Structure 1
Amino acid sequence: MSKHHDIREDMEVISADGAHVGTVDEISHHRIKLKKRDGGHPAIGGGSHDGHHHYLSLGLVAEVEGDRVRLTVSSENVSGFLEEKHEV
Structure 2
Amino acid sequence: MADISQIKEHAEVIGADGVHVGTVDKVEGDRIKLTKKDSGAEVEGADNPHAGHHHYISTGLVADVEGDTVRLSANADVAVTFEEEEGGQPL
Q: TM-score range by the shorter chain?
A: 0.7 to 0.9
Deviation (angstroms), 1:30: 1.0
Q: Which runs of 4+ in 1 moved over 2 A?
A: 38-45
Displacement of 1:85 after TM fit?
1.8
1:49 corresponds to which residue?
A: 51
Aligned counterpart, 2:73: 72
Offset from partner CA, 1:15-69 (integer Å, 9 cap, x none): 0010000000000121000000137342374xx932x210000100000122100
Higher strand share: 1
> Is the partner of 1:78 in helix, strand or coil?
helix
Give unpaired runs (5+ residues) of structure 1: none
Unmatched 5+ residue regions in structure 2? none
TM-score (norm 1): 0.80
Aligned residues: 82
| 1:62 corresponding residue in structure 2 | 63
Counterparts of 2:71 and 2:8 in 1: how far apart (Å)?
Answer: 13
Question: Where does residue 3 of structure 1 map in the other structure?
Answer: 3
Q: Describe how 1:6-25 pairs up with structure 2 within 5 A.
A: 6-25=6-25
**Residue 4 of structure 1, CA deviation:** 0.3
